[in-house]
A and B are shown apart, each in its own frame.
Chain A
Amino acid sequence: GDSVTQMEGPVTLSEEAFLTINCTYTATGYPSLFWYVQYPGEGLQLLLKATKADDKGSNKGFEATYRKETTSFHLEKGSVQVSDSAVYFCALKSGGSNYKLTFGKGTLLTVNP
């Protein structure tokens, strides 16, 4: 079945540091890939997505590129801020389902001033 494996946290960085959170997947067909973020006390929010190979999703300074050859969708940001502190979830929708999201375990990011 479909699965998502993401870097286990927690991750602690200083402000302006470079961020990478690794995500790899196993899926049938050609999945769409997503990063969701959950800020403290809030629901999950879609951060970015990519629907086909080599697509790059980007939002709020975050980027991730859909790499079919390595089945990966790593999240990166060049300079993190304290306000980026949150839990980040990698997820996919496989070709067999256009509604069911399969998530990774989540990575807690803490950014210190």
Chain B
Amino acid sequence: EAGVTQFPSHSVIEKGQTVTLRCDPISGHDNLYWYRRVMGKEIKFLLHFVKESKQDESGMPNNRFLAERTGGTYSTLKVQPAELEDSGVYFCASSQGQTGAYEQYFGPGTRLTVT
């Protein structure tokens, strides 16, 4: 069974540009999460999908970030326009069940560098 995959593994963009990160969860997992680790800091929760619905987006830093999960399968996280402080590693995770109480399986992350 394939794990959570993320694309790209690394992205380098200039300030003001747009970047879209993609996450493919484990097949059959209704719950999908985005987290972010800024260098030297904690991994922080960004948002949680159940199928295609956003259940909690309380961790999204500002309106330059847009997450979608059309059809309840893969998800994208778009940053537009990117700022220097958006640099970090973006992790995606997925879990089974309807409530999010099950183990979260993480992808390898996308390292975003904004110059």
Contacts and interface: CB of A to CB of B under 8 A. Distances in A.
Interface of A: 4, 36, 41-46, 89, 91, 98-106
B4 interface: yes
Interface stretch (B12-20, B34-42, B64-72, B77-85): B34-42
Contacts, number: 55
B1 interface: no
Nearest to B4: A43
Contacts of B45: 100-102
Contacts of A36: 106
A98 B99 contact: yes
Contacts of B91: 43-44
Interface-central residue, A41, A43, A46, A91, by most chain B CB under 10 Å: A43
B42 A41 contact: no
Contacts of A100: 45, 48, 56, 59
Nearest to A39: B108
Contact of A43 (B33, B56, B107): B107
B106 A44 contact: yes
Given A89-B43, A100-B48, A103-B42, A43 B109 contact: yes
Closest 5 CB pairs of A and B: A99-B100, A43-B106, A44-B106, A103-B43, A98-B101
B40 A105 contact: yes
B45 to A, nearest CB: 5
B108 A43 contact: yes
Given A41-B108, A43-B109, A99 B48 contact: yes
A93 B51 CA distance: 21
A43 B43 contact: no
Interface-central residue, A36, A44, A98, A103, by most chain B CB under 10 Å: A44
